[in-house]
Amino acid sequence: MQKQTRVLTQEQLQLFETEGYLIVKGLFRQEEVSEIEATFEEISHSIVPGHFEPVLDEEVVEPLKRYPRVMHPHRFHPTAMKYMLHKPVMDVLADLYGEPALAAQSMFYYKPPGSRGQALHQDNFYLQVEPGNCIAAWTAIDASNEENGGLLVVPKTSDYALVCPEEADSNESFTTHFVKPPKDSKALPAIMDRGDVLFFNGNLIHGSYRNKSNRFRRAFICHYANASAAKIGAFYRPLFREDGTEVNLDVNSNGGPCGVEFDTAYPH
């Protein structure tokens, strides 16, 4: 029996279920992408304690010290909150989940030229959504490809169990966790135009390489949980319904596949 959907075709839904990810075009008008771009350009010249702490007052060699990622901007800026709850995105999520989505996290990555990538990993290792799973909505603010460190996905790993990560190569990854793909699986680049949105399952293995171009690879990234979820990692509370009302799920403190001694509260 086919699922009833709001906006996605049955082919798109099937692609997400089999491959673990889906690129959708047309969810943002170009003026909306420009508003996101302008908002984070303004933020990039400031310090927001606990959310965005760049080194502004000295010349730095490490690009990510000048342009670190912005964590939870929806907690301090209304534009980030507005687009985290962007109705066209929430409609797609409702189709993918088969129920409404709850917004759990927002981020903005500047990824300037020369900056390191992020080792392959799985999102629900951090969010710990139960029962159900998290889904990411990764919006390209700049066109994204292999040259400027675009996202890599390992198809068909959305059903792959969460695993305890290995140590990442700090010369190439700004995060410390690495999940090795299954044998005979290969990470593929998600080629995206400005304004495209990539949705992917919380178990899908994904990451990125270094930005080897002379241009930024900016992205607005949000994570969501299914409305029927009961637990999530403490870092991601409170969650929000599409209408902006808060939801506080119970804290999931089981430590995931590594046990309670392993720190899964790392701010992904």
Concatenating the DSSP letter of every residue in 75-113 gives: GT-HHHHHHHT-HHHHHHHHHHHTS-EEEEEEEEE---T
**Which of 97, 121, 117 shows the shortest CA–CA distance to 109?**
117
- pLDDT at residue 9, as a whole number: 97
For residue 202, what are the contacts with CB-CB under 8 A and spacing of at least 6? 122, 123, 124, 127, 129, 133, 134, 135, 136, 223
- pLDDT at residue 267, as a whole number: 47
What pTM does this model have? Answer: 0.95
Residue 265: exposed, middle, or buried by beta-carbon count in 10 A (0-12, 13-18, 19+)? middle
Measured distance CA(198)–CA(106) in Å, rounded: 14
- pLDDT at residue 58, as a whole number: 72
Cβ-contact 216, 148 below 8 angstroms = yes
For residue 209, what are the contacts with CB-CB under 8 A and spacing of at least 6? 117, 146, 149, 152, 172
For 66, other C-beta atoms within 10 Å of its C-beta total: 17
Tokens 């005979």 locate to 184
- Domains of the chain, residue spans: 10-257
Greatest Cα pair distance, the chain, in angstroms, is: 61
Helix (H) or strand (E) holding 64: helix 63-66
CA angle 199, 205, 207 (to 5 degrees): 80
Q: Which residues of 212-239 are buried (b: 16+ CB within 10 A; e: fewer)?
A: ebeebbbbbbbbbbbbebebbbebbeeb
Residue 29: exposed, middle, or buried by beta-carbon count in 10 A (0-12, 13-18, 19+)? exposed
- pLDDT at residue 260, as a whole number: 61
158: phi then psi, degrees, rounded to nearest 5: -70, -20
Concatenating the DSSP letter of every residue in 121-179 gives: B-THHHH--BSS-EEEEEEESS-B-TTTT-EEE-TT-TTSPP---EE--TTTBSSSEE-
CA angle 84, 85, 89 (to 5 degrees): 90
Tens of pLDDT, residue by residue, the chain (268 residues): 577 888 999 999 999 999 999 999 999 999 999 999 999 999 999 999 999 999 997 776 789 999 999 999 999 999 999 999 999 999 999 999 999 999 999 999 999 999 999 999 999 999 999 999 999 999 999 999 999 999 999 999 999 999 999 999 999 999 999 999 999 899 999 999 999 999 999 999 999 999 999 999 999 999 999 999 999 999 999 999 999 999 999 999 887 888 764 555 444 5
- pLDDT at residue 1, as a whole number: 57
Q: Which fold has domain 10-257?
A: Jelly Rolls (2.60.120)
Tokens 């709001």 locate to 6
For 2, other C-beta atoms within 10 Å of its C-beta total: 7
